[in-house]
Amino acid sequence: MEINQKSRRVVFLLSPFQGHINPMLQLATILHSRGFSITLVHPQFKSPNPSNHPEFTFIPISDNLSESKVSTGDLFSIVSALNKNCEAPFKQCIEQLLKADDHHDRISCIVYDGLMFFAQSVADHFKLPGISVRTSPAATILAYALHEQGYISLLDLMSQDQVPEIESLRLKELTAVMRENTTEAILELRAAFTDSLKKSSVIIVNTMNFLEQEAVKIVQEMFPASSIFTTGPFHKLAPTISSSLLKEDTNCISWLNRQSPKSVIYVSFGSLASIDEKELLEMAWGLADSEQPFLWVIRPGMVRDSKGMELLPKSFEERVGERGCIVEWAPQKEVLEHEAVGGFWTHCGWNSILESICEGVPMLCRPFFGDQNLNVRYVCDVWKVGLELERGEIEKAIRKLMVDTEGEEIGKRAKHLKQKVDMSLKEGGSSYSSLNDLAEKILSF
């Protein structure tokens, strides 16, 4: 569908996290390809590279985040500070955009990263429709909402054990993992997030209907005033774009070209998770003992209090030689698409999982925090396209996934899931239709 009347401007508000910037820029690219003009507002703290996206207008806003706050790495306090500090600058920014607004480039809505939930009140203030984007699975919306008093009825149902099953798992089990170890401050943030969803006109989730049909249905029931769109996986609908904050080391692709099909295990824990020195060494020797070729991302800062790579002993390097390739940051989507890759040892970030299932790559799961603890249940128990790693069992787990019959079965299911993804992206498929409906919806504002 092309927009041939006056053009429509969509204002995006980003959060400063790699795992959120990627899907938000992909969504912006998708809408741009449908004829919308895009303005990207982002906190100063981390800016995507504007020169990678000459088609967008970038506007930084002040976030007042101190170095000390950022360096704590405490995500919840960073999110909380962003929601407090960015509201006034964002309001001012929208006000200026509206003043400069002309009839040919009218702002039609504000599309915000769900973590930046204050944006909904700014949208309400200017009587603009607000669109909240969830870059994690739909089930996380339920896990957050279940804390809120307004959703007592669902809690009641749960206590009576009448909650519908999501495939083979009870919603209760799936969402319970995200309700462990929560503080009052976290609960408050989650309630504010849920509240913004209630007021939003549209909720877009980077997921696919067939992946979490039940969860999506319940989300729709919980937020009857908002339209829910499951328009994922964004990265498959967006033309190739790079939104990496770190420089991708493409040498690993030439190394992959020299490996046999499906022989390599790709190892990456995303942009935030960190490990200690002991775990790094366990990983190293597990990879060495597995005898499989491996591509390992050791991001600067991934090993707490250390640069990382220099901790690896000479004896390890001598033992693995050309069989291992270690980089600081990989072009992950390209890696997962490569025919040499047969498994992904992942921290279970949602983008990583989507990227993996889109290429039919089975996973070895080592979740760290937040939604990763829910995502691992989907991968291992619901879709059954991965194995959960038990500490001390690295070598065995890698061989189970990459060589043994159990791994073969998992691989078959991963291939089958990929076929479903491909179907949903084709004309008439659920993601394809959802994108058309979303574009229509935005045009109707």
Which stretches of the chain bind ligand UDP, using CB under 6 A?
18-19, 22, 244, 268, 270-273, 297, 329-330, 332-333, 349-352, 355
Amino acid at position 354, single letter: L
- Between residues 8 and 333, which has the closer beta carbon with respect to ligand UDP? 333
- Between residues 154 and 287, which has the closer beta carbon with respect to ligand UDP? 287
Minimum Å gap between C-beta 240 and ligand UDP is 12
Query: Which position's Cβ is nearest ligand UDP?
Result: 19
For residues 284 and 313, give the distance between their C-alpha atoms in angstroms, rounded to a whole number.
Answer: 9
Helix (H) / strand (E) containing 200: none
Minimum Å gap between C-beta 203 and ligand UDP is 19
Minimum Å gap between C-beta 332 and ligand UDP is 3
| β-pair partners for 365 | 346, 388
- Between residues 212 and 355, which has the closer beta carbon with respect to ligand UDP? 355
Closest CA to 366 of 80, 11, 309, 352: 352
Minimum Å gap between C-beta 18 and ligand UDP is 5
Minimum Å gap between C-beta 113 and ligand UDP is 12
Minimum Å gap between C-beta 243 and ligand UDP is 8
- Between residues 117 and 350, which has the closer beta carbon with respect to ligand UDP? 350
- The full length of the chain comes to 445
Minimum Å gap between C-beta 359 and ligand UDP is 11
Grouping H, G, I as helix, E, B as strand and the rest as coil, residue 82 is helix
Q: How far is CA 136 from the centre of its chain?
A: 5
Minimum Å gap between C-beta 19 and ligand UDP is 2
Closest CA to 64 of 81, 79, 48: 81
Closest CA to 219 of 180, 176, 164, 182: 164
For residues 200 and 164, give the distance between their C-alpha atoms in angstroms, rounded to a whole number.
Answer: 26
Q: Measuring CA to CA, how many Å separate 248 from each of 297, 308, 336, 398?
A: 10, 17, 14, 25
The vertex-212 CA angle with 117 and 207, nearest 5°, equals 50
Grouping H, G, I as helix, E, B as strand and the rest as coil, residue 325 is strand
- Between residues 130 and 232, which has the closer beta carbon with respect to ligand UDP? 232
Helix (H) / strand (E) containing 57: strand 57-61
- Between residues 19 and 35, which has the closer beta carbon with respect to ligand UDP? 19
- Between residues 259 and 271, which has the closer beta carbon with respect to ligand UDP? 271
Grouping H, G, I as helix, E, B as strand and the rest as coil, residue 228 is strand
- Between residues 229 and 329, which has the closer beta carbon with respect to ligand UDP? 329
The answer to whether the CB of 308 falls within 8 A of the CB of 302 is yes
Q: What are phi and psi of 43, to 5 degrees?
A: -65, 145
Grouping H, G, I as helix, E, B as strand and the rest as coil, residue 403 is coil
- Between residues 148 and 371, which has the closer beta carbon with respect to ligand UDP? 371
For residues 35 and 101, give the distance between their C-alpha atoms in angstroms, rounded to a whole number.
Answer: 18
Closest CA to 19 of 181, 110, 132, 134: 134
- Between residues 349 and 360, which has the closer beta carbon with respect to ligand UDP? 349
Minimum Å gap between C-beta 415 and ligand UDP is 21
- Between residues 150 and 300, which has the closer beta carbon with respect to ligand UDP? 300
Minimum Å gap between C-beta 140 and ligand UDP is 12
Minimum Å gap between C-beta 269 and ligand UDP is 7
Q: How far is CA 240 from the centre of its chain?
A: 17
The answer to whether the CB of 268 falls within 8 A of the CB of 352 is yes
- Between residues 11 and 297, which has the closer beta carbon with respect to ligand UDP? 297
For residues 71 and 37, give the distance between their C-alpha atoms in angstroms, rounded to a whole number.
Answer: 35
The answer to whether the CB of 200 falls within 8 A of the CB of 227 is no
Minimum Å gap between C-beta 111 and ligand UDP is 19
Neighbours of 319 (CB within 10 A): 15
Locus of tokens 């906190």: 43
